[in-house]
């Protein structure tokens, strides 16, 4: 009977003593092409690649003319699987993985996977947006994926290279493929965080975790039909998948009732036949013009059109310097300010009139008092 605690995914160590023959019967080799922009980094790192493969009894060759890297076994190679590891090494180097990280693939516990995402989305702009979701702002989403899956992940061009354990690589592939299918990586990150906390509880190891995990499903919201008598304007909202609203790919609900098209009056007569191009030219007289006259007419029409465009652009530039229309609040404030100014002017005018009237009244009173004092002389004063 097989014990339940056996880890079937564990990498069994293979030593030189396990190979009784001491060497391999046939020579195996793999070649990988690399793009031209990777030529300089690969040429600089090739001495380190040669040294690392020499330790595991493998030979390598770099062809800069053809743009290929080749690894092959030698007479001293005793590990039959190390050639597969070396093939993965040159694959990772061709996909812009640094040598310090790619050389770890030679370890028994390390595996790799190169996920091709180029053909998953047809629209180029949509593909770039979904690929950027894997990175996140300042690479935060990619860092969270690496911490939760214990894998190294590199998003480059149309591929995603990852290195880690079998379990982590499987999780990374699911996240990447769902991201390209318009399923945001944050949902998988939440699920992985909950799973990591549940693994710490020994009582829940034999139970089903579905009741603890969040269920993120795409829901297609139904469109609300606009009634013909309803005059209220409906607000449009995105209808579609989880991320359709983010990309603008979702359809918007109808805003307000649609206007019915008026039916045209029925006439049994067919529409008038359209003139041919030659007939139209004969009516306008253009058909009888010479080539030079036709070119001159085209030049004049082109210059007129250019002048109209220049005037329109000048009008648009002048429109920028015009002040924006004043709001009702600003107009009310200006009206109140004007009324206060008018009131102040009236008060000042009234104050000046009062000050001018005061000395005139004083002089009139003085003259009246003099006449009153001289009236006691009698009739002789008048003679």
φ/ψ of residue 238, rounded to 5: -65, 140
Q: Are strands 68-73 and 251-252 parallel, antiparallel or unpaired?
A: unpaired
Residues 94 and 152: beta-carbon distance below 8 Å? no
- What are the CB-based long-range contacts (under 8 Å, 24+) for 6-12? 9/165, 9/166, 9/167, 11/108, 11/109
The total of other beta-carbon atoms located within 10 Å of residue 302's CB is: 10
| Sheet containing strand 58-63, strands side by side | 29-33, 68-73, 58-63
Instruction: Record the tokens describing residue 142, joined without a space.
Output: 């990619």
Give pLDDT, residue 225: 60
> Environment class of residue 249 by beta-carbon count within 10 Å: exposed (0-12), middle (13-18) or buried (19+)?
middle
What is the structure's pLDDT at 254? 45
Going by C-beta distance under 8 Å and a sequence separation of 6 or more, which residues neighbour residue 72?
A: 27, 28, 29, 30, 58, 59, 60, 61, 83
pLDDT of residue 287: 85
Cβ partners under 8 Å of residue 303, min gap 6? none
CB distance 135 to 179 below 8 Å: no
Task: Answer for the pair 168, 151: CB distance below 8 angstroms, yes or no.
Answer: yes
DSSP labels, 27-63: --EEEEE--GGGHHHHHHHHHHHHHHHHHTTEEEEEE
What's residue 368's pLDDT?
55
Q: How far apart are CA 145 and CA 187, in angstroms?
A: 11
- pLDDT number for residue 43: 94
Check residue 51 and give its pLDDT.
95
DSSP 231-256: -SPPPP-EESSSSHHHHT-SEEPP-S
By CB atoms closer than 10 A (0-12, 13-18, 19+), residue 56 is middle
Query: One digit per residue, pLDDT tens: the chain, 383 residues?
Result: 445 677 776 777 788 888 877 778 889 999 999 999 999 999 999 999 999 999 999 999 999 999 999 999 999 898 888 999 999 999 999 999 999 999 999 998 899 999 999 989 999 999 999 999 999 999 999 999 999 999 999 999 999 999 999 999 999 999 999 999 988 999 899 999 988 888 888 888 778 878 888 777 666 666 666 555 444 444 444 444 444 444 444 444 445 566 777 888 888 888 888 889 888 888 888 888 888 888 998 999 999 999 999 999 998 888 877 777 777 777 777 777 777 778 778 888 888 888 777 666 556 555 555 554 454 444 344 33
| Residue 37 and residue 91 in contact, taking contact as beta carbons nearer than 8 Å | no
pLDDT at 234: 45
């Amino acid at each position: 009977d097989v014990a339940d605690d056996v880890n079937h995914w564990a990498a069994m160590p293979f030593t030189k003593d396990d190979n009784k023959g001491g060497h391999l019967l046939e020579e195996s080799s793999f070649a990988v092409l690399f793009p031209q922009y990777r030529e300089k980094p690969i040429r600089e790192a090739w001495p380190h690649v040669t040294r690392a493969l020499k330790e595991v009894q493998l030979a390598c060759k770099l062809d800069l003319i053809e743009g290929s890297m080749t690894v092959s076994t030698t007479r001293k190679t005793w590990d039959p699987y190390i050639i597969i590891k070396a093939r993965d090494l040159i694959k990772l180097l061709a996909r812009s993985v640094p040598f310090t990280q790619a050389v770890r693939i030679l370890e028994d516990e390390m595996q790799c996977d190169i996920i091709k995402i180029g053909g998953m989305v047809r629209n180029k702009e949509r593909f770039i947006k979904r690929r950027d979701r894997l990175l996140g702002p300042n690479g935060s989403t990619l860092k969270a994926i690496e911490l939760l899956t214990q894998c190294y992940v590199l998003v480059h061009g149309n591929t995603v290279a990852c290195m880690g354990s079998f379990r982590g690589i499987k999780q990374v592939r699911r996240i990447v493929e769902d991201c390209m299918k318009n399923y945001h990586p944050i949902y998988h990150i939440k699920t992985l965080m909950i799973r990591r906390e549940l693994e710490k509880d020994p009582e829940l190891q034999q139970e089903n975790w579905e009741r603890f995990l969040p269920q993120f499903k795409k829901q297609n919201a139904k469109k609300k039909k606009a009634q013909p008598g309803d005059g209220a304007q409906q607000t449009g909202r995105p209808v579609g998948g989880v991320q359709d609203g983010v990309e603008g790919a979702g359809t918007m609900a109808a805003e307000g009732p649609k206007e019915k098209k008026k039916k045209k009056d029925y006439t049994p007569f067919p529409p008038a036949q359209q003139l041919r191009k030659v007939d139209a030219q004969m009516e306008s007289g253009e058909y009888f013009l010479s080539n030079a006259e036709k070119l001159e007419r085209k030049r004049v029409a082109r210059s007129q059109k250019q002048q109209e465009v220049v005037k329109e652009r000048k009008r648009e530039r002048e429109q920028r310097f015009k002040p924006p229309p004043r709001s009702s609040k600003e107009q009310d404030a200006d009206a109140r300010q004007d009324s206060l100014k008018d009131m102040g002017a009236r008060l000042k005018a009234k104050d000046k009139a009062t000050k001018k009237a005061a000395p005139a009244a004083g002089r009139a009173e003085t003259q009246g008092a003099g006449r009153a004092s001289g009236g006691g002389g009698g009739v002789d004063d008048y003679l």
